[in-house]
Amino acid sequence: MSDAPARSPLLKYVALEAPGWALAGCVLAFFVWREDLSRPLALLLLALWVAKDFALYPLLRSAYEDGRPDGAGGLVGALGTARERLDPEGYVRVGSELWRAVVARGQAPVEAGSAVRVLEVRNLTLTVERA
């Protein structure tokens, strides 16, 4: 686990969107300079651009949160079914996917059709126990 302080998802989002806002501001400033666009209209367009990004933030917030398991690590704690006898290795079905699995140390073999719980994911092999 990292010792770095947790950053707000909103702060991360703003930090990644700010360069786009700056670029949009530069493009609009160029058109104002060329007199193709009035200053009030340019400011309105920039405000709408920024407002659009803040309107999308609630939909994107979860992507900017810390501590979310992703990928195979998100399987820890999931329930599955042994497709064959796990003694100590075999295959289990978790959701709609088939995974290579090994029974946790000190656990008895798991019979085919038994429910299992994922304890760990290592090199895309699940460590499981009988649920």
Picking from 71, 95, 60, the residue whose alpha carbon sits closest to that of residue 81 is: 95
Widest CA span of the chain, in angstroms?
Answer: 79
All CATH 2.40.50.140 domain ranges in the chain, comma separated: 71-130
Q: Which tokens hold the place of 126? A: 């699940």
* pLDDT tens for the chain, residues 1 to 131: 445 556 788 898 999 999 999 999 999 999 999 999 999 999 999 999 999 999 999 988 877 777 655 666 678 889 999 999 999 899 999 988 999 999 999 999 999 999 999 999 988 899 999 98
Question: Which CATH code of 3.40.50.300, 2.40.50.140, 3.40.366.10, 3.40.50.800 fits the domain covering 71-130?
Answer: 2.40.50.140
Can you read off the two tokens belonging to residue 28?
């609009």
Q: What are phi and psi of 120, to 5 degrees?
A: -160, 155
Helices assigned H by DSSP within the chain: 9-33, 39-60
Q: What is the pLDDT of residue 1?
A: 43
